[in-house]
Chains A and B, each alone.
Chain A
Amino acid sequence: MKYIDEYRDSSKAKNYFDAIHKIVKRNWSIMEICGGQTHSIVKYGIDELLPKNITLIHGPGCPVCVTPVEKIDKAIEIASAPEVIFCSFGDMLRVPGTHSDLLKVKANGNDVRIVYSPVDSVNIAKQNPDKQIVFFAVGFETTAPANAQAVYLAYKENINNFSVLVSHVLVPPAIKAILDAKKNRVQGLLAAGHVCAVMGYKEYESIARNYHLPIIVTGFEPLDILQGIYMCINQLENVTCNVENQYSRVVSREGNPNAQKIMNEVFETSDTKWRGIGNIKQSGLKLKDKYKKFDAELIFGVIDYTVEESTECISGIILQGIKKPMDCPAFGTICTPEHPLGATMVSSEGACSAYYLYKEKN
Protein backbone atom coordinates (compact mmCIF):
# COMPACT_ATOMS: atom_id res chain seq x y z
CA MET A 1 0.00 0.00 0.00
CA LYS A 2 1.20 3.47 -0.84
CA TYR A 3 2.70 5.33 2.13
CA ILE A 4 3.23 2.04 3.94
CA ASP A 5 5.29 -0.38 1.86
CA GLU A 6 8.00 2.07 0.86
CA TYR A 7 8.61 2.86 4.54
CA ARG A 8 9.31 -0.81 5.25
CA ASP A 9 12.07 -1.19 2.64
CA SER A 10 14.68 -3.43 4.26
CA SER A 11 17.67 -2.23 2.23
CA LYS A 12 16.95 1.37 3.24
CA ALA A 13 16.53 0.19 6.83
CA LYS A 14 19.98 -1.40 6.67
CA ASN A 15 21.44 1.92 5.50
CA TYR A 16 19.91 3.58 8.56
CA PHE A 17 21.37 1.01 10.93
CA ASP A 18 24.79 1.59 9.32
CA ALA A 19 24.38 5.37 9.52
CA ILE A 20 23.38 5.22 13.18
CA HIS A 21 26.35 2.96 13.98
CA LYS A 22 28.58 5.52 12.27
CA ILE A 23 27.46 8.57 14.25
CA VAL A 24 26.89 7.16 17.74
CA LYS A 25 29.80 7.57 20.15
CA ARG A 26 28.42 7.58 23.67
CA ASN A 27 25.64 5.80 25.59
CA TRP A 28 22.18 7.20 25.07
CA SER A 29 18.65 6.42 26.30
CA ILE A 30 15.79 7.49 24.05
CA MET A 31 12.14 7.13 24.91
CA GLU A 32 9.51 6.49 22.27
CA ILE A 33 6.30 7.84 23.76
CA CYS A 34 3.79 5.98 21.68
CA GLY A 35 2.73 2.37 22.08
CA GLY A 36 2.27 2.07 18.32
CA GLN A 37 5.96 2.85 17.94
CA THR A 38 6.86 0.37 20.69
CA HIS A 39 4.92 -2.26 18.78
CA SER A 40 6.81 -1.54 15.51
CA ILE A 41 10.18 -1.41 17.28
CA VAL A 42 9.73 -4.80 18.91
CA LYS A 43 7.98 -6.38 15.93
CA TYR A 44 10.73 -5.44 13.48
CA GLY A 45 13.50 -6.10 16.03
CA ILE A 46 14.77 -2.52 15.68
CA ASP A 47 15.90 -2.45 19.32
CA GLU A 48 18.07 -5.53 18.75
CA LEU A 49 19.77 -4.23 15.62
CA LEU A 50 20.72 -0.85 17.05
CA PRO A 51 24.19 -0.28 18.49
CA LYS A 52 24.40 -1.61 22.05
CA ASN A 53 25.00 1.86 23.47
CA ILE A 54 21.50 3.01 22.43
CA THR A 55 18.74 2.01 24.83
CA LEU A 56 15.13 2.45 23.80
CA ILE A 57 12.76 3.13 26.70
CA HIS A 58 9.12 2.35 26.04
CA GLY A 59 6.94 5.22 27.21
CA PRO A 60 3.39 5.47 28.51
CA GLY A 61 1.81 6.21 25.13
CA CYS A 62 -0.91 3.60 25.10
CA PRO A 63 -4.27 4.90 26.30
CA VAL A 64 -5.51 1.37 26.92
CA CYS A 65 -2.58 0.77 29.27
CA VAL A 66 -2.92 3.95 31.30
CA THR A 67 -6.70 4.03 31.79
CA PRO A 68 -7.05 3.75 35.59
CA VAL A 69 -8.62 0.65 37.13
CA GLU A 70 -11.37 2.86 38.61
CA LYS A 71 -12.54 3.78 35.11
CA ILE A 72 -12.62 0.14 34.06
CA ASP A 73 -14.67 -0.67 37.19
CA LYS A 74 -17.04 2.17 36.38
CA ALA A 75 -17.36 0.93 32.80
CA ILE A 76 -18.14 -2.56 34.10
CA GLU A 77 -20.79 -1.26 36.49
CA ILE A 78 -22.47 0.87 33.82
CA ALA A 79 -22.31 -1.87 31.19
CA SER A 80 -23.95 -4.29 33.61
CA ALA A 81 -27.11 -2.17 33.88
CA PRO A 82 -29.94 -3.80 31.90
CA GLU A 83 -31.04 -0.60 30.14
CA VAL A 84 -27.54 0.10 28.77
CA ILE A 85 -25.91 -0.54 25.43
CA PHE A 86 -22.24 -0.05 26.21
CA CYS A 87 -20.07 0.91 23.21
CA SER A 88 -16.29 0.79 23.21
CA PHE A 89 -13.23 0.49 21.02
CA GLY A 90 -12.37 -3.22 20.87
CA ASP A 91 -9.09 -3.06 22.76
CA MET A 92 -10.74 -1.92 26.02
CA LEU A 93 -12.83 -5.08 26.42
CA ARG A 94 -10.14 -7.30 27.90
CA VAL A 95 -8.53 -4.77 30.21
CA PRO A 96 -8.83 -6.18 33.73
CA GLY A 97 -10.74 -4.16 36.32
CA THR A 98 -10.71 -5.10 39.99
CA HIS A 99 -12.86 -8.20 39.62
CA SER A 100 -13.90 -8.51 36.00
CA ASP A 101 -13.58 -7.09 32.50
CA LEU A 102 -16.02 -5.85 29.85
CA LEU A 103 -15.74 -9.06 27.86
CA LYS A 104 -17.08 -11.03 30.83
CA VAL A 105 -19.89 -8.51 31.21
CA LYS A 106 -20.75 -9.15 27.57
CA ALA A 107 -20.52 -12.93 28.06
CA ASN A 108 -23.04 -12.55 30.90
CA GLY A 109 -25.59 -11.40 28.36
CA ASN A 110 -25.22 -7.63 28.65
CA ASP A 111 -25.23 -5.53 25.50
CA VAL A 112 -21.59 -4.51 25.02
CA ARG A 113 -20.68 -3.50 21.48
CA ILE A 114 -17.42 -2.77 19.72
CA VAL A 115 -17.59 0.33 17.55
CA TYR A 116 -15.13 1.52 14.93
CA SER A 117 -15.96 5.22 15.28
CA PRO A 118 -17.44 7.10 18.26
CA VAL A 119 -20.09 8.47 15.90
CA ASP A 120 -21.37 4.90 15.42
CA SER A 121 -22.48 4.96 19.05
CA VAL A 122 -24.48 8.13 18.44
CA ASN A 123 -26.24 6.34 15.59
CA ILE A 124 -26.94 3.36 17.87
CA ALA A 125 -28.54 5.83 20.30
CA LYS A 126 -30.80 7.14 17.53
CA GLN A 127 -31.83 3.61 16.57
CA ASN A 128 -32.55 2.54 20.19
CA PRO A 129 -34.54 5.35 21.82
CA ASP A 130 -35.66 3.09 24.70
CA LYS A 131 -32.05 2.26 25.70
CA GLN A 132 -29.23 4.26 27.30
CA ILE A 133 -26.18 4.27 25.05
CA VAL A 134 -22.85 4.86 26.77
CA PHE A 135 -19.62 5.29 24.83
CA PHE A 136 -16.28 4.65 26.54
CA ALA A 137 -14.41 7.76 25.37
CA VAL A 138 -10.81 6.68 25.86
CA GLY A 139 -7.74 8.02 24.17
CA PHE A 140 -4.98 10.55 23.71
CA GLU A 141 -5.13 13.76 21.68
CA THR A 142 -5.33 11.60 18.56
CA THR A 143 -8.77 10.28 19.50
CA ALA A 144 -10.13 13.26 21.47
CA PRO A 145 -11.41 15.21 18.41
CA ALA A 146 -13.45 12.24 17.15
CA ASN A 147 -14.88 11.63 20.61
CA ALA A 148 -15.62 15.33 20.99
CA GLN A 149 -17.37 15.33 17.63
CA ALA A 150 -19.66 12.50 18.79
CA VAL A 151 -20.67 14.49 21.88
CA TYR A 152 -21.15 17.61 19.78
CA LEU A 153 -23.41 15.76 17.34
CA ALA A 154 -25.49 14.37 20.19
CA TYR A 155 -25.78 17.91 21.58
CA LYS A 156 -26.77 19.45 18.22
CA GLU A 157 -29.28 16.72 17.50
CA ASN A 158 -30.61 16.82 21.05
CA ILE A 159 -30.11 13.12 21.70
CA ASN A 160 -31.04 12.36 25.29
CA ASN A 161 -30.16 8.67 25.58
CA PHE A 162 -26.45 9.06 24.82
CA SER A 163 -23.58 9.68 27.22
CA VAL A 164 -19.83 9.19 27.44
CA LEU A 165 -17.54 7.72 30.09
CA VAL A 166 -14.53 9.95 29.56
CA SER A 167 -10.99 8.73 30.13
CA HIS A 168 -8.80 11.06 28.13
CA VAL A 169 -5.14 11.69 28.74
CA LEU A 170 -2.71 14.22 27.29
CA VAL A 171 0.86 13.53 26.26
CA PRO A 172 2.88 16.69 27.18
CA PRO A 173 2.01 16.65 30.92
CA ALA A 174 3.00 12.97 31.08
CA ILE A 175 6.30 13.70 29.35
CA LYS A 176 7.03 16.42 31.90
CA ALA A 177 6.13 14.08 34.77
CA ILE A 178 8.54 11.46 33.44
CA LEU A 179 11.33 13.99 32.90
CA ASP A 180 10.77 15.44 36.38
CA ALA A 181 10.99 12.04 38.08
CA LYS A 182 14.14 11.49 40.17
CA LYS A 183 14.95 8.25 38.42
CA ASN A 184 14.53 9.73 34.95
CA ARG A 185 17.08 8.46 32.45
CA VAL A 186 15.48 9.75 29.27
CA GLN A 187 17.91 11.86 27.21
CA GLY A 188 15.98 12.17 23.96
CA LEU A 189 12.36 11.73 22.92
CA LEU A 190 10.54 10.40 19.90
CA ALA A 191 7.20 12.23 20.04
CA ALA A 192 4.07 10.44 18.87
CA GLY A 193 3.32 11.34 15.27
CA HIS A 194 -0.44 10.96 15.35
CA VAL A 195 -0.88 12.95 18.54
CA CYS A 196 1.12 15.70 16.80
CA ALA A 197 -1.02 15.37 13.65
CA VAL A 198 -3.79 16.83 15.82
CA MET A 199 -1.87 19.08 18.21
CA GLY A 200 1.18 20.11 16.18
CA TYR A 201 4.49 20.36 18.02
CA LYS A 202 4.66 23.95 19.26
CA GLU A 203 4.11 22.74 22.81
CA TYR A 204 7.20 20.53 22.60
CA GLU A 205 9.51 23.44 21.82
CA SER A 206 9.49 24.72 25.40
CA ILE A 207 9.87 21.16 26.75
CA ALA A 208 12.96 20.64 24.58
CA ARG A 209 14.40 23.97 25.75
CA ASN A 210 13.56 23.63 29.44
CA TYR A 211 14.67 20.03 29.84
CA HIS A 212 17.59 20.30 27.40
CA LEU A 213 16.69 17.32 25.27
CA PRO A 214 16.05 16.75 21.59
CA ILE A 215 12.51 15.82 20.60
CA ILE A 216 11.80 14.23 17.22
CA VAL A 217 8.20 14.02 15.99
CA THR A 218 8.24 10.51 14.55
CA GLY A 219 6.02 8.27 12.43
CA PHE A 220 5.24 4.60 12.85
CA GLU A 221 6.80 2.61 10.04
CA PRO A 222 10.27 1.10 10.49
CA LEU A 223 12.00 3.72 8.32
CA ASP A 224 10.21 6.51 10.17
CA ILE A 225 11.38 5.19 13.52
CA LEU A 226 14.92 4.64 12.27
CA GLN A 227 15.06 8.15 10.86
CA GLY A 228 13.69 9.49 14.16
CA ILE A 229 16.38 7.63 16.09
CA TYR A 230 19.07 8.83 13.67
CA MET A 231 17.96 12.47 14.05
CA CYS A 232 17.81 12.13 17.81
CA ILE A 233 21.29 10.55 18.13
CA ASN A 234 22.66 13.16 15.75
CA GLN A 235 21.39 15.91 18.05
CA LEU A 236 22.56 14.15 21.21
CA GLU A 237 26.08 13.72 19.84
CA ASN A 238 26.11 17.36 18.74
CA VAL A 239 24.64 18.56 22.06
CA THR A 240 21.61 20.29 20.57
CA CYS A 241 18.07 20.19 21.91
CA ASN A 242 15.68 21.11 19.12
CA VAL A 243 12.32 19.85 18.03
CA GLU A 244 12.58 18.21 14.62
CA ASN A 245 9.75 16.86 12.52
CA GLN A 246 10.53 13.50 10.95
CA TYR A 247 6.84 12.85 10.15
CA SER A 248 6.41 15.95 8.00
CA ARG A 249 4.20 14.15 5.46
CA VAL A 250 1.47 14.09 8.13
CA VAL A 251 2.39 16.59 10.86
CA SER A 252 2.66 20.38 10.70
CA ARG A 253 3.89 22.67 13.46
CA GLU A 254 0.37 23.99 14.06
CA GLY A 255 -1.40 20.62 13.87
CA ASN A 256 -5.01 20.38 12.74
CA PRO A 257 -6.94 23.53 13.77
CA ASN A 258 -10.37 22.03 13.02
CA ALA A 259 -9.71 19.03 15.23
CA GLN A 260 -8.35 21.25 18.01
CA LYS A 261 -11.39 23.50 17.78
CA ILE A 262 -13.91 20.72 18.43
CA MET A 263 -11.75 19.32 21.24
CA ASN A 264 -11.68 22.72 22.94
CA GLU A 265 -15.40 23.17 22.38
CA VAL A 266 -16.31 19.98 24.25
CA PHE A 267 -13.44 19.25 26.65
CA GLU A 268 -11.31 21.08 29.20
CA THR A 269 -8.17 19.90 31.00
CA SER A 270 -8.32 18.29 34.43
CA ASP A 271 -6.08 16.43 36.88
CA THR A 272 -6.09 12.77 35.92
CA LYS A 273 -4.85 9.48 37.28
CA TRP A 274 -2.74 7.24 35.03
CA ARG A 275 -2.80 3.52 35.66
CA GLY A 276 0.48 2.45 37.21
CA ILE A 277 1.80 6.01 37.40
CA GLY A 278 -0.65 7.95 39.59
CA ASN A 279 -2.11 11.40 39.45
CA ILE A 280 -0.61 13.91 36.99
CA LYS A 281 -1.75 17.52 37.14
CA GLN A 282 -3.81 18.80 34.21
CA SER A 283 -3.00 15.68 32.23
CA GLY A 284 -6.48 14.69 31.18
CA LEU A 285 -9.69 15.97 29.64
CA LYS A 286 -13.19 16.23 31.06
CA LEU A 287 -16.46 17.48 29.60
CA LYS A 288 -17.11 21.20 29.84
CA ASP A 289 -20.16 22.23 31.87
CA LYS A 290 -22.14 22.89 28.69
CA TYR A 291 -21.87 19.16 27.85
CA LYS A 292 -22.25 17.77 31.39
CA LYS A 293 -25.59 16.19 30.56
CA PHE A 294 -23.63 13.67 28.48
CA ASP A 295 -21.43 12.65 31.43
CA ALA A 296 -22.10 8.96 32.12
CA GLU A 297 -20.44 9.18 35.56
CA LEU A 298 -23.07 11.71 36.66
CA ILE A 299 -25.98 9.92 34.99
CA PHE A 300 -25.12 6.54 36.53
CA GLY A 301 -23.83 7.92 39.84
CA VAL A 302 -20.41 6.28 39.61
CA ILE A 303 -18.32 9.12 40.98
CA ASP A 304 -16.27 8.19 44.04
CA TYR A 305 -14.34 5.07 43.24
CA THR A 306 -10.88 4.43 44.53
CA VAL A 307 -9.06 1.21 43.93
CA GLU A 308 -5.78 -0.17 45.16
CA GLU A 309 -3.79 -1.35 42.17
CA SER A 310 -2.39 -4.87 42.10
CA THR A 311 1.07 -5.02 43.67
CA GLU A 312 2.12 -7.88 41.41
CA CYS A 313 2.04 -5.81 38.25
CA ILE A 314 4.99 -3.48 37.73
CA SER A 315 3.59 -1.89 34.58
CA GLY A 316 3.81 1.55 36.21
CA ILE A 317 7.60 1.42 36.37
CA ILE A 318 7.75 -0.16 32.93
CA LEU A 319 5.72 2.76 31.55
CA GLN A 320 8.26 5.15 33.06
CA GLY A 321 11.07 3.27 31.43
CA ILE A 322 12.70 2.17 34.69
CA LYS A 323 12.22 -1.56 34.10
CA LYS A 324 11.61 -3.85 31.13
CA PRO A 325 8.76 -6.39 30.89
CA MET A 326 11.15 -9.30 31.44
CA ASP A 327 12.00 -7.86 34.85
CA CYS A 328 8.45 -8.65 36.01
CA PRO A 329 8.24 -12.07 37.70
CA ALA A 330 4.71 -12.53 36.32
CA PHE A 331 5.80 -11.91 32.69
CA GLY A 332 4.97 -14.92 30.53
CA THR A 333 4.20 -17.06 33.58
CA ILE A 334 0.99 -15.99 35.29
CA CYS A 335 0.61 -12.96 33.04
CA THR A 336 0.06 -13.58 29.32
CA PRO A 337 -2.10 -11.88 26.65
CA GLU A 338 -4.76 -14.56 27.27
CA HIS A 339 -4.70 -13.92 31.04
CA PRO A 340 -3.38 -10.40 31.46
CA LEU A 341 -2.73 -9.12 34.99
CA GLY A 342 -1.96 -5.62 33.82
CA ALA A 343 -3.07 -3.41 30.99
CA THR A 344 0.34 -3.35 29.30
CA MET A 345 -0.20 -7.05 28.58
CA VAL A 346 -3.69 -6.45 27.11
CA SER A 347 -3.18 -3.95 24.39
CA SER A 348 -1.05 -4.96 21.41
CA GLU A 349 0.58 -1.56 21.90
CA GLY A 350 1.54 -2.34 25.49
CA ALA A 351 5.21 -3.09 26.07
CA CYS A 352 4.52 -6.40 27.88
CA SER A 353 2.35 -7.75 25.11
CA ALA A 354 4.78 -6.64 22.38
CA TYR A 355 7.65 -8.35 24.20
CA TYR A 356 5.55 -11.46 24.74
CA LEU A 357 4.48 -11.66 21.10
CA TYR A 358 7.77 -10.95 19.40
CA LYS A 359 10.58 -11.62 21.82
CA GLU A 360 9.51 -15.08 23.00
CA LYS A 361 9.94 -16.45 19.51
CA ASN A 362 13.55 -15.37 19.15
Chain B
Amino acid sequence: MSQVIEANADNFEAEVLRADMPVLVDFYATWCGPCQNLAPILENLAEEWAGKIKVVKVNTGEDANMDLALKYQIRNIPNLKIFKDGQAIYDIVGFRAQEELRAEVERAL
Protein backbone atom coordinates (compact mmCIF):
# COMPACT_ATOMS: atom_id res chain seq x y z
CA MET B 1 0.00 0.00 0.00
CA SER B 2 1.19 3.45 -0.77
CA GLN B 3 2.81 5.32 2.10
CA VAL B 4 2.08 8.65 0.44
CA ILE B 5 -1.01 10.32 1.84
CA GLU B 6 -3.25 12.42 -0.40
CA ALA B 7 -4.20 15.55 1.51
CA ASN B 8 -6.73 18.25 0.70
CA ALA B 9 -8.17 21.40 2.18
CA ASP B 10 -10.21 19.34 4.68
CA ASN B 11 -7.50 17.18 6.19
CA PHE B 12 -4.42 19.36 5.66
CA GLU B 13 -4.42 20.55 9.24
CA ALA B 14 -4.66 17.05 10.69
CA GLU B 15 -2.27 15.38 8.27
CA VAL B 16 0.32 18.13 7.99
CA LEU B 17 0.08 20.93 10.52
CA ARG B 18 -0.63 18.72 13.53
CA ALA B 19 1.53 15.75 12.46
CA ASP B 20 3.81 14.29 15.12
CA MET B 21 6.79 14.13 12.73
CA PRO B 22 8.22 16.25 9.91
CA VAL B 23 6.11 16.22 6.76
CA LEU B 24 7.23 16.58 3.16
CA VAL B 25 4.32 18.02 1.20
CA ASP B 26 4.32 17.71 -2.58
CA PHE B 27 2.14 20.32 -4.27
CA TYR B 28 1.52 18.82 -7.70
CA ALA B 29 -0.93 18.67 -10.61
CA THR B 30 -1.83 16.00 -13.11
CA TRP B 31 -0.90 18.28 -16.04
CA CYS B 32 2.67 18.69 -14.83
CA GLY B 33 5.13 16.24 -16.38
CA PRO B 34 7.94 16.70 -13.87
CA CYS B 35 5.38 16.10 -11.08
CA GLN B 36 4.47 12.77 -12.65
CA ASN B 37 8.15 11.87 -12.70
CA LEU B 38 8.48 12.71 -9.06
CA ALA B 39 5.58 10.47 -7.97
CA PRO B 40 7.41 7.11 -7.94
CA ILE B 41 10.41 8.72 -6.23
CA LEU B 42 8.16 10.01 -3.45
CA GLU B 43 6.63 6.55 -3.08
CA ASN B 44 10.11 5.06 -2.60
CA LEU B 45 11.21 7.69 -0.13
CA ALA B 46 7.95 7.50 1.85
CA GLU B 47 8.56 3.81 2.33
CA GLU B 48 12.15 4.40 3.33
CA TRP B 49 11.24 7.19 5.77
CA ALA B 50 8.23 5.41 7.31
CA GLY B 51 7.88 6.45 10.96
CA LYS B 52 10.41 9.29 10.57
CA ILE B 53 9.23 11.62 7.83
CA LYS B 54 5.70 11.65 6.49
CA VAL B 55 5.10 12.22 2.77
CA VAL B 56 1.89 13.97 1.75
CA LYS B 57 0.72 15.19 -1.64
CA VAL B 58 -1.75 17.91 -2.53
CA ASN B 59 -3.33 18.04 -5.96
CA THR B 60 -3.36 21.74 -6.81
CA GLY B 61 -5.46 20.96 -9.88
CA GLU B 62 -8.49 20.40 -7.64
CA ASP B 63 -10.42 23.65 -7.29
CA ALA B 64 -10.99 22.90 -3.61
CA ASN B 65 -7.24 22.86 -3.01
CA MET B 66 -6.49 26.13 -4.81
CA ASP B 67 -6.81 28.01 -1.51
CA LEU B 68 -4.05 25.88 -0.03
CA ALA B 69 -1.89 26.61 -3.06
CA LEU B 70 -2.57 30.33 -2.68
CA LYS B 71 -1.99 30.26 1.07
CA TYR B 72 1.42 28.69 0.62
CA GLN B 73 2.15 30.91 -2.38
CA ILE B 74 2.67 28.07 -4.80
CA ARG B 75 3.78 29.55 -8.11
CA ASN B 76 5.72 26.63 -9.54
CA ILE B 77 5.19 22.91 -9.34
CA PRO B 78 6.46 20.43 -8.41
CA ASN B 79 6.83 22.35 -5.17
CA LEU B 80 7.87 20.45 -2.09
CA LYS B 81 7.66 21.98 1.34
CA ILE B 82 8.95 20.56 4.57
CA PHE B 83 6.64 21.21 7.52
CA LYS B 84 7.81 20.86 11.09
CA ASP B 85 5.56 21.65 14.04
CA GLY B 86 3.00 23.24 11.76
CA GLN B 87 5.49 25.57 10.06
CA ALA B 88 6.82 25.40 6.51
CA ILE B 89 10.57 25.43 7.10
CA TYR B 90 12.08 24.52 3.73
CA ASP B 91 11.21 24.78 0.05
CA ILE B 92 12.22 22.62 -2.89
CA VAL B 93 11.12 23.82 -6.31
CA GLY B 94 11.35 21.63 -9.38
CA PHE B 95 12.21 18.02 -10.05
CA ARG B 96 14.93 16.22 -8.12
CA ALA B 97 16.36 12.76 -8.71
CA GLN B 98 15.83 10.34 -5.82
CA GLU B 99 19.35 10.60 -4.37
CA GLU B 100 19.31 14.39 -4.57
CA LEU B 101 15.89 14.67 -2.97
CA ARG B 102 16.75 12.29 -0.13
CA ALA B 103 19.94 14.20 0.62
CA GLU B 104 18.31 17.62 0.45
CA VAL B 105 15.40 16.70 2.74
CA GLU B 106 17.61 14.94 5.27
CA ARG B 107 19.99 17.88 5.29
CA ALA B 108 17.14 20.33 5.85
CA LEU B 109 15.98 18.43 8.93
Partners in one complex: no
Chain B positions near chain A (C-beta within 8 angstroms):
none
Question: Hey, which bits of chain A sit against chain B, CB under 8 A?
Answer: none
